[in-house]
Structure 1
Amino acid sequence: MEQQNEQKHVQKQFADGAAEEKLPAEKCSEDINQWHNKVLSYKHLVRRWTAYFWGINKAFLYSYEDLEQTIWYILMVGLQEFDGRGDEEQFLNWYIRNKVVSIMMYGKKPPKCTHLPFTPIRFDYVSPDELAEVNELFYSDGEDD
């Protein structure tokens, strides 16, 4: 009888332990869902800035989708950077605009992107002003002058 009680006690402890182990995983899943919903709640900002920057810079960009992915990335970094002061949407609006401008105009890397930087900007773009120099550098026939 005592042995059965002991066995039930051990089984109960094991069952409680298993329940405790599931709790952090469930909490993690819940946190991921909340983060996902929060990011998606700013879809209108991503669409607006993607359309805006595509409209004025499409000659310099790989594709609309690459620009959109970059802006989604910047939005997520902006959400992590937001410290709770002021309006979150206004901060993100400012953050996305400034980061995309710094990427396009000044050739900066996206924020927190150090090891494997990515960019929506085409590297094969050549302005008409630089066309002669590029032709001389890359399309020579191999003869030295």
Structure 2
Amino acid sequence: MQQGKQNPFEEQFGQEEQDQQPAAKSEDIRKWHEKVLSYKHLVRRWTAYFWGINKAFLYSYEDLEQTIWYILMVGLKEFDGRGDEEQFLNWYIRNKVVSIMMYGKKPPKCTHLPFTPIRFDYVSPDELAELNELFYSDGEDD
């Protein structure tokens, strides 16, 4: 990576302070992991629910679950402290997955490397050219 350039993850979620001590940083990471994993029940519930009603359109249960974990983490970053965090995440996950499945939207904050749990067989012909460009290009802009 070239020096002075931020990677896409840092651009999207903000770069951590560079002078933070390694021990403090690892403690922050540990707390973040614990917080994310504390919502495992939401991920399991929504994955099972959406798999049950949409499995014919999806690559796999694991792809759907991974997408929902990603949405959960973005939702945790988006939560502003007002109201109940779990209720917000419940609403956030539901609405974002519905947007992806029903309206063909990209996952939230997913601009550099978009992904989808939806099988290509079920992508509309109108979106096919765009998806082919995203998933089968060599990454160079023409």
Relative to the length of structure 1, the TM-score reads 0.71
Gaps of 5+ in 1: 1-22, 131-145
Higher helix fraction (1 or 2): 1
Taking structure 2 as the reference length, the TM-score comes to 0.72
Partner residue of 2:60 out of 63, 86, 94:
63
Q: Deviations over 1:101-128 (max 9, x none)?
A: 000000000000011100000012379x
Aligned to 2:47: 50
Matched pairs, number: 107
- For 1:126 and 1:79, how far apart are their aligned partners in 2? 29
1:82 aligned partner, one-letter code: F
Partner of 1:121: 118
Runs of 4+ deviating beyond 4 Å:
none
Q: Percent identity?
A: 90
Look at both structures and tell me which one has the larger radius of gyration over its CA atoms: 1
Unaligned segments of structure 2, at least 5 residues: 1-19, 126-142
3-state SS of the aligned residue for 1:83? coil
- Partners of 2:123 and 2:76 in 1: how far apart? 35
Superposition CA RMSD, Å? 1.9
